[in-house]
Each structure stands twice: as C-alpha cells, then as structure tokens.
Amino acid sequence: MRRLVAPAGVLVAALAVVGCSVRSDGPGAAIDPEAIEDAVPKQEPKSATGNPASYTVHGQRYEVRDSAAGYVAEGRASWYGRKFHGRATSSGEPYDMYAMTAAHRTLPLPTYARVTHLGNGKSVIVRINDRGPFHEDRLIDLSYAAAVRLDLLDTGTARVRVRALTDPGSKQASATAADAYRGSDGAAGAGGHARDDGDGAVYLQLGAFSRFANAQDLRARAHGAGVRGVEVERGDDSAGATVYRVRVGPLPDAAARRAVRGKLERAGIDTVGVVRD
C-alpha cells in the first residue's frame, strides 16, 4: 500500500486499490524461493515519516504502537507486487517487490517480524516499512518476494502468525547484519535479501536473555529439537548490561541454515538474526 504524508504528519490514504492481493497487481519476474534470504534484524531508529501517534484511513482511526515488544498476532496475509514497485512507502523508502518487506497498520516503522504461514508451516523474516493493508480482514501485506517464500501467490491470501522480533542482538550482530545487506554495488539496502557469502563463520541467533538460566533453557530446547552446535555466549547489550545470547553454528551456507530453521520452527523456536564472526 502506498501512502502520502500530509504537512500535519497525518497519513493520508492514496489507494487506487485497497486489496493488494488481487491478481491484476501482477507478479514480477520468476524468482527461486531457495535463493531468497530473510531480512536480517538490526537496530534502527524509527522512520522520520510513517510513525504518527494515530492516523485515519477510510474513516477508520489507527493508533500506532510505541513499541513492537511482545507483539504476536494471527490473521490473514495478502501481498502486493508490480503495481506498487518503486513507489514510496509510508517510511519514505521505495517499495522493492524483490526485498523481504511488509506493510502493517500499527507496528512502528521499521519493525522486523517473523511471519509463519499457518497452512504449510513455512516461515520468513521481513522488515515492515509500510502501512496497510486496509481490508478489515487482513493483518499484513507481504512483498512479492515474501509471498513467494511463503508459497501464497496462487491463493493470494493465507492465514499467518506475525511475531515481532525486538532484540536484534549485539552491536556486532547489528554491524554484520548491515554487511549482509550489501549487494554487489556495496550499498546497504533498506530491507533486502540477506547475503551471507564471504569469509567467516555464520550463526543463527535464537534469543538473548538477561538471565543465564533462561538462555540455558532455550539451548536445551534447541538441542532437544535435534539441533547441534547450540551455544550460549555472554556479552553486553547496547546499554552495557550483561546479556546471554543463544546461537547455532557455524553454518556453512543458506541450505544448512534453512535445515536448522526447519527443525527449530517445528519445535516452536524462532530465530532472530544472522551473525557472522
């Protein structure tokens, strides 16, 4: 969904079509789901636009959340594609249908979230950088790339679970996540495909805790799911407080990461980022 921002900071709907999952929106060029990596969570400031306290669309008032912490919801997902490709999102960034992004009515922009297709169990991480969808029966609008990954192009919509990821991890994790965004031109993207090529070991981060016992509990759950190489690492968060991070690795390639993610997801364990040593 594309939006304009009025001088008073209120979002004004610019909707030629409210439902973005209609087939006339059109897919883009065929892409291989196996080649699309998740968005990599990192610490980011709120967007200068797209985060008013509230806004109104079609007579409906929406209150924007101050924080995404603890957000989990289930509802119907749709997707938007070629019609909106290149247009400005509510955050001011151009919509890239080949990036792992999404639109949500009330979560802060940007927010990273795991979206799980409740029909087939497939799961992705997206960066929410836009407002929408404004169908009352829809929860989230996914980019074309995310829809391909979740296998919902043919049905147009699907029931999903959206879980906000609000602890992207350490400063090191944030820095390596930014590196993962860099394409062949060396420019950091705004939420594109995570690239883990290059030297260095790659790990999946499962969580971060202030209490060692909680980290150990998660490690034991992951081990019980058949995942090996799970470790607890002690470090500091951005405020200097001690934090215990649970991670899996090193993992050599995207196929290995997908295999591990599959085991974790079947055990109900989310991953929150990719970290390279």
Instruction: Give the domain CATH number at 232.
Output: 3.30.70.1070
* Cα 246 from chain centre: 19
Same domain, 202 and 258: yes
SS3 152: coil
Look at residue 185 and tell me if it is in a domain: no
Q: Which of 119, 149, 165 is the last residue of a domain?
A: 165
Look at residue 242 and tell me if it is in a domain: yes
| Cβ atoms 11, 61 nearer than 8 A | no
- d(C-alpha 28, C-alpha 83), whole Å: 10
Task: For residue 218, give its domain range.
Answer: 196-276
With a CB cutoff of 8 Å and minimum separation 6, the contacts of 220 are none
Look at residue 119 and tell me if it is in a domain: yes
Model-level pTM? 0.57
Ranges of residues in the chain with a pLDDT under 70 are 1-29, 167-201, 237-239, 271-273, 276-277
Q: Which of 142, 165, 188 is the last residue of a domain?
A: 165
User: What's the pLDDT score for residue 234?
Assistant: 86
- Residue 239's φ and ψ, nearest 5 degrees, are -95, 0
Pairing of strands 72-80, 101-103: unpaired
Look at residue 218 and tell me if it is in a domain: yes
Same domain, 94 and 210: no
Same domain, 10 and 141: yes
First to last CA, the chain: 38
Same domain, 149 and 219: no
User: What's the pLDDT score for residue 29?
Assistant: 63
Same domain, 117 and 239: no
Give the count of domains, the chain.
2
- d(C-alpha 92, C-alpha 129), whole Å: 9
Same domain, 52 and 146: yes
Residue 138 belongs to domain with CATH number: 2.40.40.10
